Amino acid sequence: MTVQENYELNIGPQHPSTHGVFRIKVSMNGETIEDLDMIVGYLHRSMEKLSEERTYTQNIPFTDRADYLAAMSNNLGYCLAIEKLANVIPPQRATVLRVIFAELQRIASHAMANGTLVSDAGAWQTPLLYMFREREKILDLFEMTCGARLTTNYMRIGGVAFEPPAEFYPLLNDLLGELPDKIDEYMDLLSTNEIFIARTKNVGIINPKDAINASLSGPALRGSGVPWDLRKADPYCDYDNYDFDVPLGLIGDSYDRFMVRMFEVKESVKIIKQALNNLPLGMHKTQIPLALRPEPGQLYFRTEGPRGELGYFVVSDGGPAPYRLHIRPPSLINLSLLKQLAIGSSLPDAIVTLGSIDIVVGEIDR
Amino acid sequence: MSLIFSFIPYIKRLIVLILILFGLAVGFILSKALFDLSIYSNAVFDFMIDKSSYNVAYFSSSLIGALGIISFIGLVLLVGSWVERRMIAKFQIRVGPNRVGIFGLLQPIADAIKLMQKEVLVPAVADKLLFFIAPVAIFIPAILAWAPIPWGPNMTYLNINIGILYIFAVSSLTVPIIFFAGWSSMNHYALLGSMRTVAMMVSYEIPISLSLLSVVIITGTLNLTEIVLWQSSNSIWLGLLIPFSLFTFFFSSTAEINRTPNDIAEAESEIVAGYHIEYSGMKAGLFMAVELGNAVLLGALVTSLFLNGWFLFGLENYIPPYIIFIAKTVAIYIVLIWLRATLPRFRLDQLMNFAWKMLIPVSIINFFMIAIETTIITNLDSSKYIIYLFAIINIAVFVGLIILWSKIFKIDKFSPEKIAPIFAQKIGGIKAMEGTKSVD
Amino acid sequence: MVLTNLQVPGKELSEIITEFSSDSVLDFSEDWVQIDKSNLLKILNFMHTNSNIDAAQLCNLTAVDMLDYFEVHYHLQSLDLKKLYSLKVIIDRDTSSLPSICDIYLGANLQEREIFDLFGITFTNHPDLRRIFLWEGFAGHPLRKDFLQMENVTPGLPSFPFEEEGKQNR
């Protein structure tokens, strides 16, 4: 008598395509996935507990380390939330500088996400390294402004930490000039590549109703065609004054999510150009008390991070440290549909789907 | 002074140029002595036959030839890995290995030393015997397959009448060995990798044999040397005469030797390293070396079967023929590196579909067409130029068949209009989305 | 008491909910509405299906330890109407349990697991209620304010979980 059993395969914690210490335990029947269990927490640093012991300003570095590929965006979301809670109004120049840096960070993050997606589809790291070329330049800009490349710690409550140096602007202009051409180059290399299309088209289709119901956000939601972008819907940092479009996907497969990121980079370039034209003179920071004590209250404030709705839920009891600080992690919540998407598909398809959703494990575990 | 400094960035290129010129000069001087290497083994044979029996003489002279081929393989493994790493680095806008020795040329030796120093881990539950045998055994077919390769007019180590069959038989030996490696590791990734390899090799043997059958039927021989001579006597490269066979052979062979875009047996992003995931140290190094050696072997096969072997428009009279042969082999190897640096990877089911639905039927059509053409050629032996006519017809049919098959299986070219962005007209949820669609 | 741009004022939301179910609003402030724990599923279902409220998406789900009790915050949003609703449920520390809303909002699955892990609030009828960040057998729930003052409990385990001494489980 033969007994047919599924076998278990541990994808991760150390695996080339889990993008960090993330583990998926799959039960396989041949090459088909029958059951899936995500195991996260290898990078849990209990940021939310630690932040209850530190002042509001001391918590900013934690937000760098939550999503280490989009530190600027996380800084921005946290500082905006605390400013709203404590009624601090940043100077106009700081707001525009914040937009510039947040959009640069979005470009860098999307370059990383798309590069690793193509690597997951099996390209021998060539597109990844091409996209790293632009990301390197952006990280160089960060380094000359705030001294750090990944964990920037640049935004402050009431402004930004430093004024960018004089040589920042010509380099940024050069970068903005060549970025659209470079994006077209990647389009030539990948978007019409038959093998890449065969690997990503119709793989991991998320229909819009499921996407909304499963709390998806960011490119994962827009890839399904839902026109929801917090920069337009709930404008912060005067995003309503900028002229940009929200690219959407057609059917919600991995290819659409890839393309949405590609086009968003072009839109980000547009935003940065407008911001540079309207950069006002003045202070880059307002003076705030060393131990900021907001009024007792609570606030849920969200921004559009590169991976989706990046929310900060802050409860203040009037003391110098937050009574409770919760980070809404888009990477974790975007994974809600992974199980439904992966069951019944083959292992390579599941890997591509995971790559197209774009997770950062530091943010999942916090 | 500043003039001298301005040359500094070009010094490396200058050195390369000087080295190449030096090599060419030395080669020209020695070309008389090195034009045909078979004279050395013949000399050994003549020397030994006076002293001892025929068998001893034959054995010792054949040892010289084997030594030559094996040392070539060893050289290829060292230089090839350096070439591959440097070239891929150039494709990926990096520098590549450049620290050990000039241009990093000693990097492969440093790698080998490092790999030998590393501990070879054996999993506790592994089948020890098979686990030990597999990396050693996989080297045997990789070296044996080099025997009937025609390097030059007299330089064929094993000039047998069934050369193609021999290579086909020997290279099939790789399948069970890879399966041993995957099975004995007791690792699910390794098992998946070896199962994929077996499935893929079994499927792709058929298109390979069909494409080789076309070569055999048109030349009327299985002997590799005679295939090369047929091409030169009819003054056409078989790659031009039967392009579809060349394409089928090349593509299917990339599946057989696990090269991109068909390297699903060791797909890094899916099953990490496939069948050799549990091997470490020099054992893993042996698998990688075999892979590289097989890639060069594919180059040698394509050269002798389709690219007219050691002939190159009369140049073979001035340059040692085996140098031309190696140059063509390296050119094919560089094409393989190029593919590896550019293309993503297929999925297993896509590859299977491609083999069974596309390659095999079209190969059969191609085979029958070539059979008809061969009949015409052999019966009309007076007209030599009919071969050129057939070459044109075959190229046209090659293109036509591809278009026809993509129509049949509805693989239409992805049009650029489809990747134009769709922009949101209105921000919102499902309702706003419906609005967007009606606008389009 | 801070309202973000899209947030519906508590008074307005409480009127809507009272209209649907009269005694379920316990308290409201400028930015949140506190609802009855027993009516939670009913109200969320109503908000999810009612086209005038259209709370299609659950943005955020989190909890706060208020020393005497737990607050669980539900942030729902309507994409079409561009509105953000903030609801709050108060539960006991001792018998801390809530009905799971996974049937209504799929996105609540992982967030409820996170709250269970870090606060120890159990969600009844949750399809897969396990710890998410910490391992099974971890003592205590770290985001409770009294985590480090618990008696006879030291955080962490003496050995790696599921490991019998001297034996590898394969």
Q: Provide the domain count of chain B.
A: 3
Q: Which residues of C touch A213 (CB under 8 A)?
A: 56-57, 105-107
Residue A51 has pLDDT above 50, yes or no: yes
Contact C82 B428 (CB under 8 A): yes
Contact C110 A336 (CB under 8 A): yes
Chain A adjacent subunits, 3+ CB pairs under 8 A: B, C
User: CA angle at residue A33 from A29 to A37, to 5 degrees?
Assistant: 120
Tell me how far apart the alpha carbons of residues A97 and A93 are, in angstroms, rounded to a whole number.
6
Q: What is the pLDDT of residue A236?
A: 87
Task: Please state the domain extents for chain C.
Answer: 10-149
Tell me how far apart the alpha carbons of residues C122 and C100 are, in angstroms, rounded to a whole number.
9
Q: Which residues of C touch B428 (CB under 8 A)?
A: 79-80, 82
Contact C82 B124 (CB under 8 A): no
Q: Which of B188, B414, B426 sits opposite A192 (nearest CB)?
A: B414
Residue B141 covered by a domain: yes
Q: Which residues of B touch A191 (CB under 8 A)?
A: 419
Residue B422 covered by a domain: no
Contact A248 B346 (CB under 8 A): no
Place of tokens 């013949």: B42
Q: Tell whether B23 and B48 lie within a shared domain.
A: no
Interface residue C69 vs chain A (CB under 8 A): no
Mean pLDDT of chain A: 87
Q: Tell whether B102 and B223 lie within a shared domain.
A: no
Cα–Cα distance list, A343 to A32, A210, A215, A354, B63 (Å): 8, 16, 20, 13, 58
Tell me how far apart the alpha carbons of residues A240 and A231 are, in angstroms, rounded to a whole number.
7
Distance from CA of B338 to the nearest CA of C (A): 42
Chain B adjacent subunits, 3+ CB pairs under 8 A: A, C
Tell me how far apart the alpha carbons of residues B287 and B266 are, in angstroms, rounded to a whole number.
11
Q: Tell whether B112 and B231 lie within a shared domain.
A: no
Tell me how far apart the alpha carbons of residues B52 and B311 are, in angstroms, rounded to a whole number.
38
Instruction: For residue A127, say if its preceding peptide bond is cis, omega within 30 degrees of 0.
Output: no
Q: Dump pLDDT digits (tens) for A201-212.
A: 888 889 888 888
Tell me how far apart the alpha carbons of residues A33 and B270 are, in angstroms, rounded to a whole number.
13
Contact A233 B427 (CB under 8 A): yes
CA neighbor of A80 nearest in space, from A94, A61, A93: A94
Contact A234 C82 (CB under 8 A): yes
User: What would the 3-class secondary structure string for chain B be?
Assistant: CHHHHHCHHHHHHHHHHHHHHHHHHHHHHHHHHHCCCHHHHHHHHHHHHHHCCHHHHHHHHHHHHHHHHHHHHHHHHHHHHHHHHHHHHHHCCCCCCCCCCHHHCCHHHHHHHHHHHCCCCCCCCCCHHHHHHHHHHCHHHHHHCCCCCECCCCCECCCCCCHHHHHHHHHHCHHHHHHHHHHHCCCHHHHHHHHHHHHHHHHHHHHHHHHHHHHHHHHCCCCHHHHHHHHHHCCCCHHHHCHHHHHHHHHHHHHHCCCCCCCHHHCHHHHCCHHHCCCCHHHHHHHHHHHHHHHHHHHHHHHHHHCCCCCCCCHHHCCCHHHHHHHHHHHHHHHHHHHHHHCCCCCHHHHHHHHHHHHHHHHHHHHHHHHHHHHHHHHCCCCCCHHHHHHHHHHHHHHHHHHHHHHHCCCCCCCHHHHCCEECCCCCCHHHHHHHHHHC
Q: What is the ipTM of this complex?
A: 0.84
Cα–Cα distance list, B421 to A17, A191, A249, B424 (Å): 28, 12, 8, 10
Instruction: For residue A13, say if its preceding peptide bond is cis, omega within 30 degrees of 0.
Output: yes
Q: Tell whether B58 and B16 lie within a shared domain.
A: no
Q: What is the pLDDT of residue B439?
A: 40
Q: Which residues of A touch B419 (CB under 8 A)?
A: 187, 191-192, 259
Contact B427 A229 (CB under 8 A): yes
Mean pLDDT of chain C: 81
CA neighbor of A347 nearest in space, from B181, B349, B183, C110: B349
Q: Tell whether B39 and B19 lie within a shared domain.
A: no
Q: Tell whether B395 and B264 lie within a shared domain.
A: yes
Q: Tell whether B77 and B184 lie within a shared domain.
A: no
Residue of chain C nearest A236, judged by CA positions: C5
Number of A–C residue contacts, CB under 8 Å: 99
Q: Which residues of B touch A122 (CB under 8 A)?
A: 260-261, 263, 267-270, 344-346
Scan residues 185-224 of A and list those with Cβ closer than 8 Å to B: 187, 189, 191-199, 208-209, 212
Scan residues 29-68 of A and list those with Cβ closer than 8 Å to C: 40-41, 44, 46, 48-49
Task: Return the structure tokens found at A197.
Answer: 């299309």
Interface residue C81 vs chain A (CB under 8 A): no
Q: Dump pLDDT digits (tens) for C96-149.
A: 888 888 888 888 888 999 899 888 888 888 888 888 888 777 777 888 887 776
Q: Which of B419, B426, B430 sits opposite A208 (nearest CB)?
A: B430
Interface residue C153 vs chain A (CB under 8 A): no
Q: Tell whether B1 and B61 lie within a shared domain.
A: no
C-beta separation of B176 from B182 below 8 A: no
Q: Tell me the one-letter amino acid at C29.
A: S
Distance from CA of C79 to the nearest CA of B (A): 5
- For A252, the 3-state DSSP assignment is coil
Task: Return the structure tokens found at A283.
Answer: 């202070």
C-beta separation of B118 from B282 below 8 A: yes
Q: What is the pLDDT of residue C169?
A: 47
Residue of chain C nearest B187, judged by CA positions: C170
pLDDT average, residue stretch A269-289: 88
Q: Within a 13 Å sphere around the CA of B269, how many CA atoms are in the beta-carbon half?
A: 26
Q: What is the pLDDT of residue A139?
A: 92
C-beta separation of A133 from A179 below 8 A: no
Question: Maximum CA pair distance of chain B?
Answer: 97
Tell me how far apart the alpha carbons of residues B232 and B221 are, in angstroms, rounded to a whole number.
15
Distance from CA of C78 to the nearest CA of B (A): 8
Residues composing chain B: 440
Place of tokens 């706003």: B432
Spatial strand order in the sheet of A23-29: A7-11, A23-29, A32-39
Assign domain C10-149 one CATH number from 3.30.460.80, 3.40.50.300, 3.40.50.920, 3.40.50.1100.
3.30.460.80
Interface residue A233 vs chain B (CB under 8 A): yes
Residue B272 covered by a domain: yes
Chain C adjacent subunits, 3+ CB pairs under 8 A: A, B
Q: Tell whether B108 and B138 lie within a shared domain.
A: no
Q: Tell whether B298 and B268 lie within a shared domain.
A: yes
Strand ranges in A185-290 using DSSP code E only, listed in sequence order: 247-248
Q: Which of C80, C168, C170 sits opposite B432 (nearest CB)?
A: C80
Please list the rounded mean pLDDT of every run of 10 residues in chain B (440 residues).
Answer: 62 81 76 73 80 82 85 87 88 85 85 88 85 88 88 83 88 87 87 86 88 88 88 83 88 84 78 84 87 89 88 77 86 89 85 85 88 82 73 84 78 60 77 59
Q: Are strands C25-28 and C33-35 parallel, antiparallel or unpaired?
A: antiparallel
- Which position has the higher pLDDT, B31 or A130? A130
Task: Please state the domain extents for chain A.
Answer: 32-151+163-365
Spatial strand order in the sheet of C25-28: C25-28, C33-35, C83-92, C69-78, C57-65
By residue range, what is the domain housing residue B193? 134-413
Contact B125 C170 (CB under 8 A): yes
Q: Tell whether B105 and B214 lie within a shared domain.
A: no
The domain made up of A32-151+163-365 is a member of CATH 1.10.645.10: yes
Q: Which residues of B touch C54 (CB under 8 A)?
A: 429
List residues of B whose CB lies inside 8 A of any C CB. Answer: 124-125, 427-432
Q: Tell whether B182 and B85 lie within a shared domain.
A: no
Distance from CA of B426 to the nearest CA of C (A): 10
Q: Which residues of B touch A245 (CB under 8 A)?
A: 421, 423-424
Distance from CA of C132 to the nearest CA of A (A): 6
Q: Which of A7, A120, A227 sits opposite B427 (nearest CB)?
A: A227
Interface residue A195 vs chain C (CB under 8 A): no
Choose from B425, B430, B436 for mutation: most chain C CBs within 10 A: B430
C-beta separation of A347 from B271 below 8 A: yes
CA neighbor of B378 nearest in space, from B189, B218, B209: B218
Q: Which residues of A touch C57 (CB under 8 A)?
A: 212-213, 215
Contact A328 C59 (CB under 8 A): yes
